[in-house]
Amino acid sequence: MATEASPQRGYRASCPNCGAPVEFRSAASPVAVCGFCRSTLARDGESLTRIGQSAELFDDHSPLQLGAAGRHQGSVFTVVGRLQLRYADGVWSEWHALFDSGKSGWLSEDNGRYVLSFEAPAPAGVPPVPEALQPGQRIVLDGRLWEVASRVRARVAAAQGELPFAPNLVDEFEVADLRSAQDEVATLDWSEAPKIHWSIGRPIALADLSMSGLRETSEKTLGSRALQCPNCGTALAPKLEATRSIVCHQCRAVVDLSTGVGGDLAHYAQAGGSEPQIPLGSVGQLALGSPTKPWQVVGYAERRDVPDSADDESTPWREYLLYHRTEGFAFLVDAEDGWSWTVPITGAPQGVGATVKWRGTTYRKLYDYTGETTWVLGEFYWKLERGQRTHHTDYAAGAKRLNREAAAGEITWSAGETLDAGVVARAFGLAPEKQAALQRDAKPLSAGSARGVVWLVVAIVVVVLLVAMCSRDECEDLRRTFGAASTEYQQCKRTGAGRTGFRTSGGSYGGFGSGGGHK
């Protein structure tokens, strides 16, 4: 069958500022940025007019680049432009994808993942001023229920290539992200207020787009961002372009790179942590909600829950930040009740309170707690601050986990599942003498071993319950005996015994200390 000819007509002209060739893939594109002098050029008939100059791009980890091509729902597209936006906690990029039909889409970063979105007319009911939207608020727009995930002040820091509109390179403006139970993210952009830009996107893996022309490597050369630790002078060489915070391997100071390299770098000293059981740089073969892929450990954090009172116990847990070139970022969580993995999700589960529903599964609430970051190593794609705290709510459905994190004016949901410690050890090829150290309270039992210990378990449960009847918290002894993830402890909490609703120990089931990751 014959392929329909592309309706696009290319256009080439010389930059009026430096004379370099500037190419338009679409005859309808009004703006392009010269790749040599960074002049922003507007088409005026058959000539180009210089309307401004873009700042230099702050390179990031993305394998995307101009000229990369892919296919979405049978339609071919080419990456022809890029906007880089900066806000208080860092930078994110949005890539202009031009389809053969002439339609424009945007591939953007979303908490270490990717979203493909398309602009549409703003629906009725959008607040005329962004201040009317607050993180966590629920609002009906376009006939759907949305949860406001974030609202930030941003500006276009730099532009590249061919764009469907002239970017505002001067003023700051408000951007709000809204998420739905249909796994969608909507963006409201007031960059041309009173006009409001509205776009809707869904999560997408670069592998699903059959991409070609990607950058072959995401590692930077030493000279591109080589720097010295502002605390001790040791040479630092970030491995990922996405890095916004890096920890000095010599003095353990945390260095803020969110505003770029140059001048005095903000930093703070830290002490008192431990070395990760899975060394930084290790690569493990893991299936994290997708086919098995190689994931590299690029960051390590120790966190603890903040007790409600001096009488409550504070429990630490550990998180490993993992990176894959086309999948983005994920987390391994090592808590006293076992291992789990988690990734940020694009949408927001349906419901509030004791139960929420996500992708057809109903999750029950386990804990509310405040987490605090106490020690970090490696590199992170968000800005780290001393004593950073986040509020979490954990939900569970069998082995599946959900976590809602509220931090710095942003709501982030993440989803994952529990993992056996043996799977983690084998994935990273840990030596036998190190594997035992990974075991935690929540150890899955095989059918045979479960039958062998069932009477012992029943006897212990009876004794514990009798003792617990006289205790302040009837479920606490069950938690200490079997672990917070055990059937015995969870059944006790569900029946209403003991204190319920607020988590005082047990480790995270899937939260991560992003401190607000936004894009």
Q: Which amino acid is at 15?
A: C
Domain edge (last residue) among 179, 209, 239: 209
Q: Which amino acid is at 210?
A: S
Burial 291-302 (b: 16+ CB within 10 A, else e): eebebbbbbbbb
- Shared domain for 191 and 291, answered yes or no, is no
Tell me whether residue 339 is in a domain. yes
Helix (H) or strand (E) holding 152: strand 144-163
Domain edge (last residue) among 377, 409, 437: 437
Tell me whether residue 510 is in a domain. no
Query: Dihedral of CA 62/25/191/180: which sign?
Result: negative
Tell me whether residue 444 is in a domain. no
Q: What predicted TM-score, i.e. pTM, was given to this entire model?
A: 0.72
Tell me whether residue 319 is in a domain. yes
Give residue 485's pLDDT. Answer: 52
Of 31, 93, 36, nearest to 68 by C-alpha is 93
Domain edge (last residue) among 150, 178, 209: 209
Tell me whether residue 422 is in a domain. yes
- Shared domain for 366 and 392, answered yes or no, is yes
Domain with 33 in it: 11-209
Domain tally, the chain = 2
**What span, in angstroms and rounded, lies between the C-alpha atoms of 165 and 423?**
49
Token digits of residue 423: 């799977």
Tell me whether residue 478 is in a domain. no
- Shared domain for 200 and 226, answered yes or no, is no
Helix (H) or strand (E) holding 421: helix 421-427
- Shared domain for 323 and 355, answered yes or no, is yes
- Shared domain for 236 and 276, answered yes or no, is yes
Question: Regarding beta strands 31-33 and 293-305, do their DSSP bridges make them parallel or antiparallel, or are they unpaired?
Answer: unpaired
Tell me whether residue 464 is in a domain. no
- Shared domain for 315 and 185, answered yes or no, is no
In this prediction, the residues of the chain whose per-residue pLDDT falls under 50 are 1-8, 218-224, 441-472, 474, 477-478, 480-482, 486-488, 495-511, 513-519
Question: Regarding beta strands 31-33 and 144-163, do their DSSP bridges make them parallel or antiparallel, or are they unpaired?
Answer: antiparallel
Are residues 340 and 509 in contact, defined by beta-carbon separation less than 8 angstroms? yes
- Shared domain for 134 and 98, answered yes or no, is yes
Tell me whether residue 345 is in a domain. yes
- Shared domain for 117 and 237, answered yes or no, is no
CB atoms within 10 A of CB 448: 7
- Shared domain for 81 and 195, answered yes or no, is yes
- Shared domain for 289 and 413, answered yes or no, is yes
Token digits of residue 102: 């002439």
- Shared domain for 188 and 61, answered yes or no, is yes
Burial 385-412 (b: 16+ CB within 10 A, else e): beebebebbbbbbeebbbbbbbbbbbbb
Angle of helix 487-494 relative to helix 447-468, nearest 10 degrees?
A: 40
- Shared domain for 410 and 267, answered yes or no, is yes
Residues making up the chain, counted from first to last: 519
